[in-house]
Amino acid sequence: MKLVLALASLAAFAGSAAAKAVFAHVIVGVAQSYTVAQWESDIALAQAADIDAFVLNITPPWSGSATETQVANAFKAAESTGFKLFFSFDYKGNGQAWSASDIITVLQTYASNDYHYKHNSLPLVSTFEGTDADNINDWSTIKSQVSSDIFLVPDWTSLGTTEFATHLDIVDGAFSWDMWPEGPNNMTNASDVAWTNAIGSDKAYMMGVSPWFYTDLPGYNKAWVWRGDSMWHERWQQAIDLQPEFVEIVTWNDYGESHYIGPIWSDGIPQGDNINAHTYVDGMPHDAWRDLLPYYISQYKTGSADVTTEKLQYWYRLTPGAAGTTEATGNNCKSDINIYGYQTCYDPNEIAEDGVFVTALLSSPATVTIKIGDNDATSFEATAAGANHFSRPFNGQTGKVVISIVRDSATVLSGTGEAILEKPTSGVTNYNAWVGGVSA
């Protein structure tokens, strides 16, 4: 049974309204073998989660490329489903910056499309970086060449808030890519507050929300762990409190960085010379992370959300971190592609907690239990209706994980997750999360 909210979804009106909106970041390069039908399938899942639009991350070149073909497929699917799309021009994805002329071509083709997301009647446009002076200065020309003008909310996070604020005459808002905590700490909204203060109340802020980050792709010079743990729930609470104009989920399908919330598309998992994300993505679904999105999104947009169907959402790694070997570092502290400055190196096992993380969506107070293997269950008292979050450490326990909601001494909902093992069968620790869920 699907989660039902008393307040109807606003997704159908997202194309022209100035109301708050939630987007999911989609790496088009991952979808190079997509058909229109596959785009339609992903869109249907996003609509069921009350996501308002896909942000299409695209890299150059454009003309005659597979990217051009897939963007056309995506817009065909958007038309058939009534969904919305807009672009994030990625200046770092393949080491090649976008030219102003190519961006103008893309926007002249799609910005006026009925299924391009618009804010205050202007096509919303974003970037991933693009902070060289020439690239920043291109946007005045780009805006003048797009007949409808655009609403520009770039990710120029590497500039920092002070430098970004010197470009407020060019932009209509800011998107911060700073959404994972540094070191063995939980993520806070301190960076988001700094960005909103820097751009002022007359500019829109787009807040990034991400559930996880683990990558092990030596061929791309990437092997990093950031703390995820309870972040998916906690970051949504921060968005609900901060009330930014937009929220962007990072990501729908970046399998190589383990923060996907969409279905696993095997063709899109990075593989090649010294690159094989299949080792940590295969068998590690994240779909259940979408299950509570209608609840979180309704709270973010309207301040309330009723619960008529109870749910459990749970995630964890399948072995203790120290039980295997790894080449990954805690934080990105060695790579020459760290665009935000070098961070302190940590042992990844200082970063990632060996724990089971549970969010229970409840219609009334209850007890939530977490049981690992044949060991005694650990109980938590959820004293209010809504989303209640808990976690407990492995404490050396192994076996299947059983999560239950108990009320008046009776189990009203229970879900069983994959077994926690004593050590990884490959000998290498997988810091990706296994995610499960169940509803009444």
pLDDT, one tens digit per residue, over 52-72 is 999 999 999 999 999 999 999
Bridge partner residues of 352 (DSSP): none
Q: Which of 261, 265, 258 is nearest to 248 (CA)?
A: 261
Average pLDDT rounded to a whole number, residues 239-253: 98
Neighbours of 431 (CB within 10 A): 27
Q: Which amino acid is at 422?
A: E
Most confident of 7-11, 82-86, 306-310: 82-86
Dist. CA 207–CA 246, nearest whole Å: 6
Asked if residue 19 has pLDDT above 90, the reply is no
Bridge partner residues of 416 (DSSP): 402
Task: Note the pLDDT of residue 387.
Answer: 98
Task: Note the pLDDT of residue 147.
Answer: 80
Asked if residue 11 has pLDDT above 60, the reply is no
Q: Which residues contact 190 (CB under 8 A, 6 or more apart)?
A: none
Using 50, 70 and 90 to split pLDDT, how confident is the model at 18? low
* 421, 319 Cβ separation under 8 angstroms: yes
Asked if residue 6 has pLDDT above 60, the reply is no
Which of 305-309, 337-341, 421-425 shows the lowest per-residue confidence on average (mean pLDDT)?
337-341
**252: phi then psi, degrees, rounded to nearest 5:** -80, -40
Q: What is the DSSP string of 51-119?
A: --EEEEEE-S--TTSHHHHHHHHHHHHHHHHT-EEEEEEESSTTS-PPPHHHHHHHHHHHTTSTTB-EE
Asked if residue 14 has pLDDT above 50, the reply is no
> Mean pLDDT, the chain, as a whole number?
93
Q: Which of 307, 264, 312, 272 is nearest to 291 (CA)?
A: 312
Task: Note the pLDDT of residue 410.
Answer: 97
Residue with tokens 């309207």: 302
Dist. CA 147–CA 291, nearest whole Å: 39
Listed by start position, the domains of the chain span 21-302, 311-439
pLDDT tens-digit series, residues 104-163: 999 999 999 999 999 999 999 999 999 999 999 999 999 999 987 999 999 999 999 999
Asked if residue 16 has pLDDT above 60, the reply is no
Could you tell me the CA-to-CA distances from 32 to 36, 39, 97, 259 in Å, in that order?
A: 11, 11, 20, 19
pLDDT tens-digit series, residues 312-371: 999 999 999 999 999 999 998 876 556 555 688 899 999 999 999 999 999 999 999 999
Q: Which amino acid is at 57?
A: N
Average pLDDT rounded to a whole number, residues 189-206: 98
Which of 249-253, 272-276, 299-303, 358-362 shows the lowest per-residue confidence on average (mean pLDDT)?
272-276
Q: What is the pTM of this model?
A: 0.94
Q: Return the CATH fold of 21-302.
A: TIM Barrel (3.20.20)
Q: Which amino acid is at 230?
A: S
Dist. CA 98–CA 48, nearest whole Å: 33
Could you tell me the CA-to-CA distances from 365 to 302, 310, 368 in Å, in that order?
A: 23, 11, 10
Q: At 384, is the secondary structure helix, strand, or coil?
A: coil
Using 50, 70 and 90 to split pLDDT, how confident is the model at 406? very high
Which of 92-106, 366-380, 386-400 shows the lowest per-residue confidence on average (mean pLDDT)?
92-106
CA 80 to chain centre: 25
Q: Which of 70, 61, 62 is nearest to 95 (CA)?
A: 61
Which of 13-27, 80-94, 259-273 shows the lowest per-residue confidence on average (mean pLDDT)?
13-27
DSSP 165: G
Q: What is the DSSP string of 241-306?
A: HH--SEEEES-SS-GGGT---S---GGGS-EETTEETHHHHTT---GGGGTTHHHHHHHHHHS---
Task: Note the pLDDT of residue 338.
Answer: 60
